Structure 1
Amino acid sequence: MTKRAWWLVGLNILIPGSAQLLAGSRRLGRFGVGATFVLWAVVAVAILVWFVWPTALLTVVTFSASLWILAAALVFYAALWVVLTLDTLRLVRLVRTTPSARGWIAGLATISLVLFSGGAGYAAFLASTAGGFVSDVFVVAPPKEPVDGRYNFMLLGVDSGPDREGLRPDSITVVSVDATTGAATMIGIPRNLENVPFPEDSPLYAKYPNGYGADDGCEVDVCYINSVYTEVTLTSPEMYPNATAEGSDPGIEAVRDAVEGVTGLTIQYYALIEMQGFIDLVDALGGVDVTVETAVPIHTDDTFTEVAEWIGPGVVHLDGYHALWYARSRHDTTDYDRMQRQHQLQQAIIEQFSPANVLSKFQAVAAAGARLVETDIPQSALGYFVDLAGKTRELPIAQLELTPVNDVDPEYPDYPYIHQLVADATAPIEVEETPAG
């Protein structure tokens, strides 16, 4: 009976349901073995697809509906393994085994129950969390095609508060990614850029044919690029009647037009990041490491004169609170310095998004992301972009700042020159092939 007990427990681990086929309910055994073989077949197909066409597998598992189905399937298998394991222990008849073996047999069955059912239950929890995150953040829409072989994402870091009317994008960055290689260029656009041109098909072109505020001013106090959002949102949202239905809003679409006019690029997607929510994401990732060249102060008042503490210099590990201050501190600094620090943090966060790090903190990262990000990236494109992001992480990210460091004067910008800078920065890199032999 002891040898029989070991065999039954071992078979329950190797092929759940087989113990019932041999010594219990054949109906339950056939169901358990059939479910096991189905699971093995699905896993085998998934592994094959991962090696042959990983984007297809990623696309399937990044739809919210697919994730909820996966979660339900995992709950089913977790419950099935509980039933089969407990039934196997019944079939074992521990009281008829040798006393010295009873604890070991029961312990092995319990460990297998915890590993299989507990693991499936936890995976179901992750899948359901991911499903909620995907449905909350990403839209249901067909994917867009690359333009000139590139995808261009507009990242808006918006500043809000009780003393401000509406949102104001104080950080504007374009991430241009090669659709094949994943090579990325981050283009920083200063918030105080003036005379911003609009594409001819933009509703704002008719109002500002010579650039934003170039002729008779604009509808807000200053005519900078970051004022475009506020003006359209507050005074003329009817210019973009389809924005909300397409997962955006009039202010964002106006800024998209402005950014396209500045860079000469087609912006397929945007992501809006609320700066206060930025703290949650950094904390969820466990903080970020940055190299601080010059110490940056944290202020105690709204006049930015009294200093509570300093960040750096040197290699510093920042939590969310200190990361936000590092990005936004104004004491004895310029907007261009802030842009540089913001891009440094963006790159540090990208490096922190390793699969192991995100998985270990998945619930917190997903919750922070849902509070933080608003975007028009469709669920149908997530699999492709996850695969592309993996390639991007393996390559250095190029930087282009449209600031005086590159001979760009935000007050009197030369837009044909800016277009050439952007074209040069996003030109594909040709790799010379070494002749054989």
Structure 2
Amino acid sequence: MSTIARGRHVRDPRHPVASLLVRGALTAVAVVVVVSLSAAAVLVRQLDGNIVAADVEALLEDRPTPEPEATEALNILVLGADRAEGEAVDLGSSVEQSRRADTTILVHLAADRDSATLVSIPRDSMVQGPACLLEDGTRTDAGLIQFNAAFEHGGVACTINTVEETTGVFIDHYVVVDYDGFLDIVDALGGVRVCLPEAVDDSFSGLDLPAGEQTVRGDQALAYVRARKIGDGSDLGRIERQQAFIASMVQQATSTGLLARPNRLISVLDAGTRSLTTDPGLASVTALASVARSVQALPADRVRFVTVPTEPWPQDENRVVWTPAADELWASIREDAPLPGSEPSAPPSPEPSPTQAPDPLTVSPAEITVDVVNAGARGGAAGDAATDLRIQGFTVGAILNGDEEVDGVRLVVPPGQEEAARTVLEAFPDAELVAATDGERIRVELGSGAPFVQEVPNRLGDEPLPQRTLPPDPGASPSLSVRAATDDICA
């Protein structure tokens, strides 16, 4: 495993709530890190002794190389799993008992620590699993598996190998939280507020709650995050509840003033550390605190929960497969880039100053003949553009398919056609102008992302341009469903 802070300077603490949240997806990880700011040395040693370290480095193979721009980002794989009392976490062994990672969340801390993304991986996902190396030297079989079977058959190491193989994301650290310890954390917090749209009486999970907002603790809290026989009964519905529950835990810790009440804080810290197994790089309060300090300034609304986009598996509707949108999600994690669809809109172009009015156009569309070329645009784009130009008085000489693809629109302007090009440019305001060495007609090349033709000021006639819309892209990925840590628990 790599070093924790990657050589970054930590920031002064300003928002401890954010650090509580980011610690993985379970407050077990989150609350531990605060101890470096408040606990005595004796308590630190006690809590260090609670954390179990398990080194899986020797079992990790064919690992991806972090992207250059993402070398200071941090990816922590958080696993929630059942474990009998006193049972060690499997490193990479063949397991006889039916243990599976019930919850898997990839926590991505941006290199600048300005955002954190918690990606839930559905346990029912069908993925291509690698041949994982086990401690005894044997290997699991490579091939199509249900995602959480990687933990059952090959332990933590195989789960990391599977995530890295299927996503290309390098995993820096891992944390396993057992559910018995999770119960202790919830109880130490005094319970956690949840919201149910309707009453639930599920004998399978033991969840028995009325509708509306209420506080859960103990077995009811565990049943709430694990139950699958409520709502639509899907793993995706369960993931939504888990994400809301994690956010509520942070809100609970904040509203009760946990940091200002040492007796409550110590009980939560003790419960949290007793539930953790991590790689050696995170297996101390000091190491966890180092991560915490690096995100102290992170506002809670910059912590977002995302589920890997899926669709039903054709062979079994109770299983899912990742959609093309998942590729975009993993690319954003690998490249430490904004989530797909979350990039801020470009600022509007400033209005021209009245004192800087453009020179009037000197060439009428009736005097201009253009060739229109499809150079990588959608099908039919050149024909649509030719129609819109003719409506305004332009003459279209030829409609062609180009040999070279361009971005947007490119106007190729022959010698002596500079003034005419100013008129054509009004129809394509953001076009790139390229001077040609010969020829008589302006060439309009439409590439990827080319806009529709605009109305020119000195157009002929008054027939309106058609109201055109882009056809749906069959390969387009649906937008991600993102939940912020500050969202209402009933949302």
The TM-score bracket by the shorter chain reads 0.5 to 0.7
Contact 2:313/2:321, CA 8 A, preserved across alignment: no
The count of corresponding residues between Structure 1 and Structure 2 is 282
Deviations 1:347-384, CA, capped at 9 Å, x for gaps: 22233444940452122112211221111215454343
Q: Distance in 2 between matches of 1:393 and 1:310?
A: 35
| Shift in alpha-carbon separation, 1:401–1:434, aligned structure 2, 3 A | closer
Contact 1:285/1:358, CA 8 A, preserved across alignment: no
Q: CA shift at 1:410, angstroms? A: 8.3
Secondary structure in structure 2 of the residue aligned to 1:423: helix
1:331 is aligned, of 208, 229, 249, to: 229
Over the residues paired in the alignment, what is the CA RMSD in angstroms?
4.2
Deviations 1:74-100, CA, capped at 9 Å, x for gaps: xxxxxxxxxxxxxxxxxxxxxxxxxxx
Q: Distance in 2 between matches of 1:298 and 1:412?
A: 24
Q: Identify unmatched segments of 5+ residues in structure 2.
A: 1-9, 17-31, 56-65, 86-95, 351-491
| Shift in alpha-carbon separation, 1:420–1:403, aligned structure 2, 3 A | closer
Q: CA shift at 1:274, angstroms? A: 0.7
Secondary structure in structure 2 of the residue aligned to 1:391: coil
1:285 partnered with 2:189: yes
Q: Distance in 1 between matches of 2:139 and 2:167?
A: 20
1:394 is aligned, of 276, 300, 317, to: 300
1:343 partnered with 2:247: no
Secondary structure in structure 1 of the residue aligned to 2:127: coil
Match of 1:213 in 2: 143
1:314 partnered with 2:212: yes
Q: Distance in 2 between matches of 1:336 and 1:133?
A: 34
Contact 1:182/1:388, CA 8 A, preserved across alignment: no
Q: Distance in 2 between matches of 1:378 and 1:159?
A: 20
Match of 1:253 in 2: 157
Instruction: Flag the structure with higher helix content.
Output: 1
Match of 2:272 in 1: 369
Q: Distance in 2 between matches of 1:228 and 1:353?
A: 34
Q: CA shift at 1:256, angstroms? A: 0.8
Match of 1:239 in 2: none
1:179 is aligned, of 103, 111, 124, to: 111
What are the within-5 Å matches in structure 2 for residues 92-241 of structure 1?
A: 126-137=40-51, 147-160=70-83, 165=97, 167-198=99-130, 203=133, 212-214=142-144, 223-232=145-154
Contact 1:183/1:397, CA 8 A, preserved across alignment: yes
Q: Distance in 1 between matches of 2:312 and 2:127?
A: 18
Match of 1:29 in 2: none
Q: CA shift at 1:310, angstroms? A: 3.1
| Structure 1, 349-358 or 330-339: larger mean CA deviation | 349-358
Q: Distance in 1 between matches of 2:198 and 2:298?
A: 29
Deviations 1:91-142, CA, capped at 9 Å, x for gaps: xxxxxxxxxxxxxxxxxxxxxxxxxxxxxxxx87x4422331134327699x
| Structure 1, 426-435 or 167-176: larger mean CA deviation | 426-435
Q: CA shift at 1:342, angstroms? A: 1.5
Contact 1:197/1:258, CA 8 A, preserved across alignment: yes
Instruction: Flag the structure with higher strand content.
Output: 2
| Shift in alpha-carbon separation, 1:404–1:418, aligned structure 2, 3 A | closer
Q: CA shift at 1:192, angstroms? A: 1.8
Deviations 1:241-289, CA, capped at 9 Å, x for gaps: xxxxxxxxxx111111112223321111111111122110001112112
Q: CA shift at 1:157, angstroms? A: 0.8
Q: Distance in 1 between matches of 2:202 and 2:43?
A: 35
Secondary structure in structure 2 of the residue aligned to 1:399: strand
1:357 is aligned, of 258, 276, 289, to: 258
Match of 2:288 in 1: 382
Match of 1:23 in 2: none
Q: CA shift at 1:151, angstroms? A: 1.0
1:266 is aligned, of 170, 181, 185, to: 170
| Shift in alpha-carbon separation, 1:356–1:129, aligned structure 2, 3 A | farther
Secondary structure in structure 2 of the residue aligned to 1:175: strand
| Shift in alpha-carbon separation, 1:372–1:131, aligned structure 2, 3 A | same
Which amino acid in the other structure matches residue 386 of structure 1? Answer: A
| Shift in alpha-carbon separation, 1:387–1:260, aligned structure 2, 3 A | same
Q: Distance in 1 between matches of 2:294 and 2:120?
A: 21
1:418 is aligned, of 326, 331, 343, to: 326
| Shift in alpha-carbon separation, 1:424–1:371, aligned structure 2, 3 A | same
| Shift in alpha-carbon separation, 1:386–1:396, aligned structure 2, 3 A | same
Match of 1:427 in 2: 337
Secondary structure in structure 1 of the residue aligned to 2:124: coil
Q: CA shift at 1:389, angstroms? A: 4.0
Secondary structure in structure 1 of the residue aligned to 2:187: helix
Which amino acid in the other structure matches residue 242 of structure 2? Answer: Q
| Structure 1, 382-391 or 278-287: larger mean CA deviation | 382-391
Which amino acid in the other structure matches residue 167 of structure 1? Answer: R
| Shift in alpha-carbon separation, 1:407–1:386, aligned structure 2, 3 A | farther
Which amino acid in the other structure matches residue 420 of structure 1? Answer: E
Deviations 1:213-263, CA, capped at 9 Å, x for gaps: 33xxxxxxxx3221212212xxxxxxxxxxxxxxxxxx1111111122233
TM-score, length-scaled by structure 2: 0.48
Q: Distance in 1 between matches of 2:196 and 2:157?
A: 35
Contact 2:54/2:278, CA 8 A, preserved across alignment: no
| Shift in alpha-carbon separation, 1:329–1:314, aligned structure 2, 3 A | same
The sequence identity of aligned pairs, in percent, is: 24
Q: CA shift at 1:156, angstroms? A: 0.6
Q: Distance in 2 between matches of 1:391 and 1:224?
A: 38
TM-score, length-scaled by structure 1: 0.53
Match of 1:117 in 2: none
Q: Distance in 2 between matches of 1:415 and 1:148?
A: 27
Contact 1:155/1:173, CA 8 A, preserved across alignment: yes
Which amino acid in the other structure matches residue 278 of structure 2? Answer: T
